[in-house]
A and B are shown apart, each in its own frame.
Chain A
Amino acid sequence: MFAVQTTILYILICNAMKHKTLFQEFEKKTFQLHFNDGIFELLFGGMFIIYVINSYADNIGRENPLLIRLLIIPLTLILVSVKMFITNPRVGYVKYSKTRRKKQKWLLLVGVFAQVIPLIAYFLSVKGIIQTEQKSQFLSLFIEFAFLIIVFGLITFFTDYILFFITGLIYAFGVPFSKFLEPWLHTRNYGYGLISLAGLVFLFYGIYKLVIFLKKYPKTKTDEL
């Protein structure tokens, strides 16, 4: 029995000794538990679909297409509520290490930065302080493309969850890159197609993950020892 146990543990610890940061990898895995509920997939999927619907409405000349875009607010509120009151309680309580908590603080800063910078840029362009002439359009598209990749890349780095980077790539290629190609392709449909396809895939995958999560981690009345 002792030999069997030692053999099993030997295999585990052998890998631990090969990879100095196994416990860091292990810590990432435990942190991933918070992403198993599919909420982020549902959020990004919903946002992509809303964006495509909004763009279509804008193209057909529908008045006040911005109202469609504002649907992102109730979508976000609903999914955040689901995360806080339904899925997170099923994961359990944990206070992560100082390293992980530091990463979470940086993540918050990146999130704030990602909201504030575009608002400032929009304000400056409306006021005419930033000129958006034809010759600088490509530069502004490049900046938008790079901004998306960098912001979502940083979010991925701090959360160790690749979905954020994939979302950033889809958004970057679907929006500023398709605008960049428009003078040659004479259409932005490929961008809309990419985003709507990604949106549908994310939505279905998010629903699947949520169903599996709720089955795997049922509500417990007590977590007593």
Chain B
Amino acid sequence: MSYKILSDIISIDKTIHEPVRIAILSILSIVEKADFLYIKNNLEITQGNLSSHLNKLESAGYIEVEKTYKGKRPATILRITDSGIKNFEKYLQIMKSFIELSGV
């Protein structure tokens, strides 16, 4: 059993396993959708940094990016996908099992 946990940890989803991306998925998992500005304000990171992480999550199919307009201003609306929810929960489960195994 413990070998399985260790092998799960070694093969953990590295797309998710990054602090900023965990935070992004955490926010998107508790709201229905949010725009780029809302995520940026909650995470307090730069626009470029956030864009790079969102691109990685979008490429993996974990988030959906919708480009629209609010009046005349362009807006980027973000939403976690079903695949994103499933893989994020799987990631959390692996980390939970690992922590429980550690006995802390």
Contact = CB atoms under 8 A, between A and B. Distances in A.
Contacts of B5: none
Contact of A30 (B17, B31, B75, B92): B31
A16 B75 CA distance: 32
B3 to A, nearest CB: 17
A16 B92 CA distance: 9
Contacts of A93: 34-35, 37-38, 70, 75, 77
A9 B21 CA distance: 11
Interface string A1-12: 000011011101
Contacts of B17: 5, 9
Q: How large is the interface on A (under 10, 10 to 19, 20 to 34, 35 or more residues)?
A: 20 to 34
Contact of A223 (B22, B32, B33, B36): B36
Interface residues of B, number: 40
B35 A9 contact: no
B51 interface: yes
A91 B33 CA distance: 14
A94 B38 contact: yes
Contacts of A16: 92
Nearest to B65: A225
Nearest to A28: B30
Given A5-B18, A10-B95, A225 B31 contact: no
Given A10-B102, A33-B38, 18 more contacts: A9-B22, A13-B99, A16-B92, A23-B30, A26-B30, A91-B37, A92-B35, A92-B40, A92-B41, A93-B35, A94-B33, A96-B32, A97-B31, A98-B32, A223-B75, A224-B75, A225-B65, A225-B76
Interface of A: 5-6, 8-10, 12-14, 16-17, 23, 26-27, 30, 33, 90-98, 217, 220-225
